[in-house]
Amino acid sequence: MPITLVSRARWSLMVQFALFGLIMSSWTSRMPSVRESLDISALQLGSLLIIGGFGSLIGAVGVGAIVARFGSRATLLAGTIGNVVGFGLDAVGLANGDLAPFIAGVFINGLCGALINVPVNINAASVEQHLRRAVLPHFHAAFSIGAAGGALVGAGFALAGVHIATQIVVVTLVVTGLRLWLLRPATALTVRAAVTTATGSIDAHGTGRRNRRAVKSALAAWREPRTLLLGVVLLAASLAEGSATTWLSLAVVDGFEAAEAVGAIAYATFVGAMTVFRFVGTRLIDRFGRVAVLRVSGVSALVGLALFVFGPNLAVAWIGIVLWGCGAALGNPIAISAASDDPERAGQRVSVVTSFSTISSLTAPPLLGLLADAVGARYALAAIGAVMIVSLSVAGQVRRRPIEPAPEPAPSPEPAPDHSIRTGPATSTVPSDTGGPERRR
């Protein structure tokens, strides 16, 4: 494989991940403006956003079959174009204070988020396999950096007094242009692999047969114990990261009677620790392996969470925030990397695994919200420790597995022997890959 092709794919995907984080956080960072434009309460807004979660879940369940049938490039293109439609409807709804187009846009964006998330992770895993060293956490760090940049973009538009609908249109156009420009280099490795596999098929209909088998295996992946257990690992990682995103600032403010700015700095500390460790952690994975790093990460997250929840003061809790952020950094990329060990089954398995992340984003906010009302946001966070412990118990599932051989095609029936007298060397005529005769001596 040419080094330049792998390098171009790597850096194109880094930007794709960053753009994914940027476009999502740029508008979610302006939720007060969204609430004001639609003239609804915070509770109503939260209920509307859950619709996007259902769109994500539907997309995550079906995207494996879509990638298997049409390939990662076509799927990523569909998600990119779908985002234009979704954000366009959101902009129309916010500009006119109309809930109907806004709800439709939120659902479409949730659906298209899966059509983007799975292909970029599959291609990032392909880069990792070609480089033969851990780099997938770098891509997830790029997502975090993009999300932070998106929040700054939203703040800039807000300070300039630009309406949220205008901001969404501008950001969507810029992000879409960059995504389309980087589409081909970002997906070059998986497209090349698909072409290589197709040209090596045993007959002219081999590609079609493989597509049909791949679509069937998209559902079969839901019956694979290892894939489901990798989903549990990702579920715990998503809870560790997502609960901090939603509740950490509030927990600092309410639990330690701190100012709102201190809560914001606490969350920034968490994101900073997680992003730095996503860059540093790749060397640890290469040296010690996925299983050891995942277990140490899980212990770090648990200890950090315990220090934050039960620490006697904010200084101790702050140490917990750093350990929690470091521990939450690598679970997501390690689980996706493990699900992508077999390139031919990566799409189906990554689709299943990422569905668990979507499930956590749907269920965790309301459940933690109920606990927060009962015991406070700080102590409510202790509940995610139980899922982290379960993840630790199945960490061995991320160990690299050998690629499973594809099933051998059924042999063609042998022709009846020809007992006629021949005057020359014995020869037979067999079908070639192109359908024409081939002389075999």
The helix/strand/coil state of 49 is: helix
Local confidence band at 213 (pLDDT 50, 70, 90 cut-offs): low
Q: Average pLDDT for residues 372-378, to the nearest whole number? A: 84
Same domain, 187 and 242: no
Asked whether residue 430 carries a pLDDT value surpassing 50, the answer given is: no
Same domain, 234 and 344: yes
Q: Average pLDDT for residues 372-398, to the nearest whole number? A: 90
pLDDT digits (tens, 9 = 90+) for 307-320: 999 999 999 999 99
Same domain, 47 and 142: yes
Same domain, 249 and 319: yes
So what's the pLDDT on residue 229? 94
Range with the lowest mean pLDDT among 271-275, 351-355, 409-413?
Answer: 409-413
Same domain, 268 and 372: yes
Last residue of a domain, one of 158, 192, 226: 192
Asked whether residue 415 carries a pLDDT value surpassing 60, the answer given is: no
What average pLDDT does the structure give for the chain? Answer: 82
**What CATH number is associated with residue 112?**
1.20.1250.20
Does 197 reside within a domain? no
Local confidence band at 142 (pLDDT 50, 70, 90 cut-offs): very high
**Percent above pLDDT 70 for the chain:** 83
Same domain, 261 and 341: yes
Does 206 reside within a domain? no
Half-sphere exposure (CA, 13 Å, Cβ side) for 58?
A: 12
So what's the pLDDT on residue 411? 52
Asked whether residue 26 carries a pLDDT value surpassing 70, the answer given is: yes
Local confidence band at 379 (pLDDT 50, 70, 90 cut-offs): very high
Local confidence band at 173 (pLDDT 50, 70, 90 cut-offs): very high
Does 409 reside within a domain? no
Sign for the pseudo-dihedral over CA of 300, 301, 305, 308: positive
Local confidence band at 27 (pLDDT 50, 70, 90 cut-offs): confident
Same domain, 27 and 175: yes
Query: Alpha-carbon distance 151 to 334, whole Å?
Result: 26
Does 177 reside within a domain? yes
Asked whether residue 435 carries a pLDDT value surpassing 90, the answer given is: no
Range with the lowest mean pLDDT among 160-174, 292-306, 337-351, 421-435?
Answer: 421-435
So what's the pLDDT on residue 45? 76
Only one residue has tokens 């075999």, namely 440
Tokens of 356: 């668990």
Amino acid (one-letter) located at 136: L
Does 417 reside within a domain? no
Same domain, 137 and 280: no
Local confidence band at 230 (pLDDT 50, 70, 90 cut-offs): very high
∠ CA 49-51-55, nearest 5°, is: 120
Query: Alpha-carbon distance 191 to 137, whole Å?
Result: 23
So what's the pLDDT on residue 221? 82
Local confidence band at 400 (pLDDT 50, 70, 90 cut-offs): confident
Helix locations, 187-258, DSSP H: 188-199, 206-220, 225-256
So what's the pLDDT on residue 291? 96
E strands, 63-150, where?
A: none
Q: How many residues does the chain have?
A: 441
The domain of 377 spans: 212-401
- In angstroms, what is the C-alpha Rg of the chain? 25
Same domain, 122 and 245: no
Tokens of 297: 């990460």
Inter-CA distances, 137 with 173, 177, 276, 354, 371, Å: 28, 25, 10, 15, 32
Contacts of 204 (CB under 8 A, 6+ apart): 433, 434, 435
Same domain, 178 and 218: no
So what's the pLDDT on residue 93? 95
pTM of structure:
0.75
Contacts of 363 (CB under 8 A, 6+ apart): none
Same domain, 350 and 316: yes
Does 163 reside within a domain? yes
Domain count across the chain: 2
Same domain, 356 and 286: yes
Asked whether residue 178 carries a pLDDT value surpassing 60, the answer given is: yes
CB atoms near residue 352 (< 10 Å): 27
Does 416 reside within a domain? no
Does 199 reside within a domain? no
